[in-house]
Amino acid sequence: MRESSDISEIRTAVRQLCAQYGEDYWLELDRTRGYPTEFVDELTRSGFLTVLIPEAYGGAGLGVYEASIIMEEVCRSGAHAGACHAQMYVMGSVLRHGSEVQKQQYLPKIAAGELRLQSFGVTEPTTGTDTTSLKTTARRDGDDYVINGQKVWISRIQHSDLMVLLARTTPKDQVKKKTDGLSAFLIHVGEAEGRGLEIRPIESMINHHSCELFFDDLRVPKDSLLGTEGAGFKVILDGMNAERILIAAECVGDGRYFIDKASHYAKERIVFDRPIGQNQGVQFPIARSYAEVEAAWLMVEKAARMFDAGEPCGAEANMAKMLASEASWRAGDVCMQTHGGFAFAKEYHIERKFRETRLYQIAPISTNLILSFIGEHVLGMPRSF
């Protein structure tokens, strides 16, 4: 299907911007665990990271479909979008659940690139995927909330001015539904660090800037609350579909990157006096992978269109994320195999992308949890937990 001229223009502009940050730029950051400040600044200045903010608050007012095209192009260029993708969607919590005062206070500044809201703190070390059992608490004390607890894998917090945090305000055994009693807070990271918030970076397999957080009597003003007290699970849940669709688009970008690289190399590399791609044992896995990535893109498109039309799209967003993350991983594996030993040389960049795309079968939600959502909520099979 031919894309509209608007979409082609977005693609071209993002492609041109990314072309200035070649793969050596990303390799060096991976080596040094650096943050792509210049790249993120330029993407922000060009308005690409704020397309989802409505025009009334200074953004472009575009949809998740357009945002998906941007993220797909970023990843297809060889970049690692993990450094910046959350700036696109975390602000959705403020947009959908913030008061008008909070929206006026934050969204125009985020749109202008003056404030970074690209960190969200949900996961905890002892409870993991079982979000409603999380142990971080926020206790009301006069005009403040006092936060205690621990989070893990909280990405980009050292490169973010604000973080959306999920904490329990009513103990789980005192609420009707386990999803009740959780509240979302908008935390000023700079003000909190050293005054009850300790941030410790985690050394990890990819350059994702993830940290452990320790809250020890952190006081935040009561107007840090996003939405109403006790209804924070919905604040987080509402942002999840956009996040899943955008991550799925990134995976498609990764998948297309791997297939471009693999098919190019298969045409060029001569062994036994002929291009390796002439052997169907090399050619077919690349062709199969291409078909899988393109099929995943159809689900990304469907989910994004439904999201933008305001239709419920939980199943489609989840399926898009699952299919795209699996397709990109398989494409990465095929790309590695096609390159033989050279796949392991860092200068070929494939091993970095291979590591990076692996994340998306685990975060922001693991494949099993998606299958359980489909099994129970779409197909009506018995609940397992």
Which residue, 197 or 266, is less far from ligand FAD as judged by CB? 197
Least distance from ligand FAD to the Cβ atom of residue 62, Å? 24
The residues that touch ligand FAD, with contacts defined as CB under 6 A, are 120-123, 128-129, 153-155, 204, 208, 210, 359, 362-366, 368-369, 372, 384-385
Least distance from ligand FAD to the Cβ atom of residue 184, Å? 12
**Two tokens, residue 39:** 């790249």
Least distance from ligand FAD to the Cβ atom of residue 256, Å? 22
Which residue, 236 or 282, is less far from ligand FAD as judged by CB? 236
Which residue, 321 or 339, is less far from ligand FAD as judged by CB? 321
Which residue, 208 or 349, is less far from ligand FAD as judged by CB? 208
Q: What are phi and psi of 201, to 5 degrees?
A: -60, 145
Which residue, 97 or 339, is less far from ligand FAD as judged by CB? 97
Which residue, 16 or 133, is less far from ligand FAD as judged by CB? 133
CA distance 106 to 117: 9
Least distance from ligand FAD to the Cβ atom of residue 208, Å? 4
Cross-strand partners of 215: 149, 197
Least distance from ligand FAD to the Cβ atom of residue 47, Å? 24
Cα within 13 Å of Cα(295), Cβ side: 12
Least distance from ligand FAD to the Cβ atom of residue 86, Å? 7
Nearest to 293 by CA among 255, 257, 321: 255
Closest CB to ligand FAD: residue number: 128
